[in-house]
Structures are given as C-alpha cells and as structure tokens.
Amino acid sequence: MKRSEAPARRGIPRVRPRRDGIQDRSYSSSSFLLLNNYQQTGIGDFGQALVRQFTNSGADVELIETSPSGRGVARQVALVIGTTRTVVANVGLTTWGPSGPANFLGFAGLGLRASLTRGTVVLLHTVIEAIDPASSGYRLGRVQRLGAHLAVEMLAKSRVVAFSKVISDSLKQEYGHPPDLVFPIPCNDDVPVSPSQVAPRIVVIPGYISPYKNISLLPELKEAVGAAARFIVVGGPHRVLEGSAAYRARFESIQSALRSAGIEQSGYLPEAEFTELIRTATVGLLPYLTTQGGSAAFSRLASAGKPVVAPSLPEFNWLKQLGAGLLLTDPSPDSLGAGVLQLLNNPDLYKELQSKQLKFRTRYSWSNFTTELFSVCRTNSGGATPIPSERLRC
C-alpha cells in the first residue's frame, strides 16, 4: 500500500471486540467509531466538523478515513464489524469511479454489521435516484446504478440520517425504508456576521468544480451583473473526477473562461480562510443545474448569514420552506444575474433574507443536529423512529 493512500486512523486505540460472537454483545452509545470520507471533499469536511462536535460534547470518538482509490477497505470493514463502539458512517455513495467496487464492499460491510448487531448509523448524503447522470460527470451505466441501489438497500437495518427531502422521499418510495432523521446540512451558528452590503461587494460561489454545479454559466451571468460586484469561485477540481482526461480538459476550459471574464478563483481554501472569505462576502450564488442531495455550500453561506441566489430546484425550494433566506429564480443567466442585482440594490430585501438566514442557522445548527444524532444513536430498537414534522415541511 502506498503511504499516501493508506487510510488515516486517528483517536484512541481500537477497542478489542469480544470473542463470544457479534450477535449477543452490547455496544456503547457514547463511544463512537466514525468512518469518514477522505479529506478535501464536501463529505469529508462534514465528517471533520462532526468529529469536533463529538469531541466538544465529551463523546469518546475514534476516526478512520477512506482513501480516494478505495485501498484499505477490507481492513476498515473488519474494524467496523468487530468494534463494540457505535459506528457512524459518513461516506460518499459512489459505486462508480476508481473506488467504486471498494465502496460497494464498504456499504456491504455496514449492512452486514447492522444485520448482526445494533449500533450502526449511516449519514446518507445522496442516493442514486437523486443523481442526474447527464450532469454528474461520471459514466453511470446500468451496473453502476444497480450497485448504488443495492448499496442503499443493504442499509435497511441501519439507522439512517438523510440530509434532504429528496433523499428522504427516495428512501420511502424506492426502498420502503424511511430515514430515522431528516435534517438539512447543519450550520455553524457562531460565525461573526459582517455588515450588510458594504464595499467591496462580493458574490461568492463555493464548492468544488463539478458539472452539475454549472460553473460554466458564470461568465454570462457576470456580464449580466456588470461591475456591481466582484465574483469569487471558491474550490478546486473534484478529487475523483480529476482522474479523467475529459474532466481535466473541461476544468481547464472553465478556468480559462472564468479568467477571461474577470472572475476570481481561490482554489481550495483551509477552513479558517474559507470561513473568513464567506463572512466578508455579500451574496452567495449557487447556479446549479441539479442538486444531488443536501447542499453543504448553502449551509456554509447560511452560517455567515449571507442571502443566497439559486435556481428553483427541489432542494432549494425545501430549504426555503424551512425558513432559509433564498431568492429563487429560473436557471437562466439573466434571471440569476437579476436576482444578484436585486439583493445588491435593495437593502430591505437583503436585510429580510439575512435575518432569515440567521434564524435558519440557529434552528439547524451543529449543536441541534448533534443532539438529534445522539438520540438516533441511543435508539436501539429496529425500524425507523418518527420523523419530526418540522423537518419535512415541504
């Protein structure tokens, strides 16, 4: 195994499993093994934030990470099946790409553990039914789609947390297994809020560059906004897709077009720099073609109290109905640009949406999410617990 690809393992030494069989042993609901996605990805960054929440709550947590190539998955499956800790899996559902077969094995291991003993919680960021193959950037053939469906099907006896209503609906309609908790990607509710609409006015577009995020639309959109604001794209290439020659060529083409349009590109930023840039921005912009589940980019903008302009997609409509400060338009560059100008030029509307974002970040904060996640972890009986109705207002 190459040293750079070895899955990282942090925390206290592994608890040695009992030798008297898996079925009869108890597990701890205050001691956790967190299986996390590899870093510099939205899901991996989410897991790092969750570790901090666990630690701040006084929980005993051990962290292991996947690798982009999928190496080390057999060892990780053995750890997951053998541990007496509560297992919380925060991994991407990708049965495609270079790590596809390994990821499928990983989900099979989670399903096996859940069928043998209690104490397995899966944080589900997407399902294959929520992904548009044409804009995903991946080659999703019949085998890959079937594998992704079976991977979720194997989680039937796990406790499942879903981060969007689209995922929740798919789990109920396509799998017959409603999630135990539906909660938007949680927000940081302690980010200092900067004065609204101060110069220089900045429109920030956060997140890695993926086809479904429609970054190629930005030059035309920037032209519609004109000199009213700076545009900054935060994020680099997708860590898995960048292995494709076609994706690299497309990424370089987009970079060139953004430079020609005068749109700044920061690349991937460390956590503190990312937070500071969003905090000092004016407006968030998410010009997506589709969404694939919960929007981490939106939650980061809401954390800083920034109003967001986005197309009227199901995920954003759900967030708006939950109280988020979103201005939704049709997906054309002119309409999205008009939405940005409306927020820049209408102080009353800006303050109204900013106020909504601040209330949203308090209601759907990391601390509230962690409390509800601990409740799911403590629930030992089979089947799904009722989903709080306020989580599903749509």
**Backbone φ, ψ for residue 51 (5° rounding):** -60, -45
Query: Which residues, other chains included, contact 91 with Cβ-Cβ below 8 Å and sequence gap of 6+?
Result: 35, 36, 37, 43, 66, 103, 106
User: What is the band of 196 on the pLDDT scale with cuts at 50, 70, 90?
Assistant: low
- pLDDT at site 77: 85
**pLDDT above 70: percentage of residues in the chain:** 80
Mean pLDDT of 114-124: 86
Rounded alpha-carbon distances, angstroms, from residue 372 to 91, 150, 151, 388: 19, 27, 25, 10
Cβ proximity of 136 and 146 under 8 Å: no
Cβ proximity of 270 and 240 under 8 Å: no
Cβ proximity of 232 and 264 under 8 Å: yes
pLDDT of 350 over the 90 cut: yes
H/E element holding 352?
helix 347-363
pLDDT of 95 over the 60 cut: no
Per-residue pLDDT tens for 202-230?
Answer: 999 997 777 778 888 999 999 999 999 99
**Backbone φ, ψ for residue 53 (5° rounding):** -65, -45
Question: Among the ranges 55-59, 237-241, 251-255, 321-325, which has the highest mean pLDDT value?
Answer: 321-325
Mean pLDDT of 129-157: 72
| Separation between Cα atoms, residue 94 and residue 232, nearest integer Å | 29
Map out the domains of the chain with their CATH numbers: 3-184+365-392 (3.40.50.2000), 202-363 (3.40.50.2000)
**Backbone φ, ψ for residue 290 (5° rounding):** -145, 170
User: What is the band of 9 on the pLDDT scale with cuts at 50, 70, 90?
Assistant: very low
Which is nearest to 314 in space by CA: 181, 170, 112, 136? Answer: 170
Rounded alpha-carbon distances, angstroms, from residue 236 to 111, 195, 258: 33, 28, 13
Total residue count of the chain as it appears in this document = 394
| Separation between Cα atoms, residue 36 and residue 65, nearest integer Å | 5
What is the dihedral angle through the alpha carbons of 14, 155, 240, 132, rounded to the nearest 10 degrees?
-160
Cβ proximity of 353 and 339 under 8 Å: no
User: What is the band of 390 on the pLDDT scale with cuts at 50, 70, 90?
Assistant: very low
Cβ proximity of 291 and 268 under 8 Å: no
| Separation between Cα atoms, residue 331 and residue 315, nearest integer Å | 14
User: What is the band of 319 on the pLDDT scale with cuts at 50, 70, 90?
Assistant: very high
Please identify which residue in the block is written with the tokens 């998410």. 286
Mean pLDDT of 7-27: 35
Say what the pTM is: 0.83
Mean pLDDT of 34-54: 85
Residue 182 backbone class (left: φ over 0; alpha: ψ -120 to 50; beta: rest): beta
| Separation between Cα atoms, residue 173 and residue 178, nearest integer Å | 8
Please identify which residue in the block is written with the tokens 């689209």. 166
In this structure, of 1-10, 153-162, 254-263, 341-350, the range with the lowest mean pLDDT score is 1-10
Q: How many helices (H) and strands (E) does the chain have?
A: 14, 13
In this structure, of 46-55, 58-67, 98-107, 219-228, the range with the lowest mean pLDDT score is 98-107
Average confidence score pLDDT of the chain: 81
